Amino acid sequence: MSQRFTRRQFLLASLAGAGGLLGWYLSRPQDLPQQRVKARHLSATQLEVLAMMAPSLLYPIRPDAQQLHSLLQAIDQAYGYLPASTQQELSQLLNLLHRRGSFLLLSAGVSDLSKFSIKQRIQLLNYWRFHSLALLNQAYQGLHELVMASWYGNPANWPALDYQLPEPFKSFALERSTPHAG
């Protein structure tokens, strides 16, 4: 005596299988372009997310590959100076953005970050910037301030702005100290 597979059982099994595949897909990390930066504080996946988001924050400035590399190194260095609680929050945000499922929730969209055009990334950042949820505002402000400080703090970017360090400050020697651990 053989049991027959009913239509209802077939539909339920198909739904369960599709749900399992969707869960697996959403839990996978996004396929982001690799940025080879020697980082002391941020992980490779966090730098990948920053490499995708930073040009959108700098728009209309379009950093070339070398400038983006320098920017990511500066962000990594600046990260080391942040208070431990801020480092933890930023790490959580970058890790969330790297995961497909959480990125879909944060973006209110259906695509991966790597598939977004620069215009879509700018729209996403503006969505966070003007959202009524303070957490999204904070995420935008944190990324914006970190990227802007790292970009404009680099003297190599000043000539394009026709900026020169004021005379009284030219005599100061800029020391590169190691970031405090904390």
Segment 39-45 mean pLDDT: 87
How confident is the model at residue 167, as a pLDDT? 79
How confident is the model at residue 4, as a pLDDT? 72
Residue pair 45/64 in contact (Cβ under 8 Å)? The answer is no
* The length of the chain, given as a count of residues: 182
Q: How confident is the model over 121-151, as pLDDT tens digits?
A: 999 899 989 999 898 899 999 999 999 999 9
Residue 99 pLDDT > 60 = yes
How confident is the model at residue 80, as a pLDDT? 92
Residue pair 57/147 in contact (Cβ under 8 Å)? The answer is yes
Q: How confident is the model over 152-176, as pLDDT tens digits?
A: 988 888 888 888 877 777 766 454 3
What is the rounded distance in angstroms from the CA atom of residue 149 to the CA atom of residue 71? Answer: 10
pLDDT: which is higher, 97 or 14: 97
Provide the 10 A C-beta neighbour count for residue 57: 19
Q: In the predicted model, what is the mean pLDDT of the chain?
A: 78
**Confidence grade of residue 33 (pLDDT, cut at 50, 70, 90):** very low
Residue 97 pLDDT > 50 = yes
| pTM as predicted | 0.70
Domain ranges of the chain: 7-156
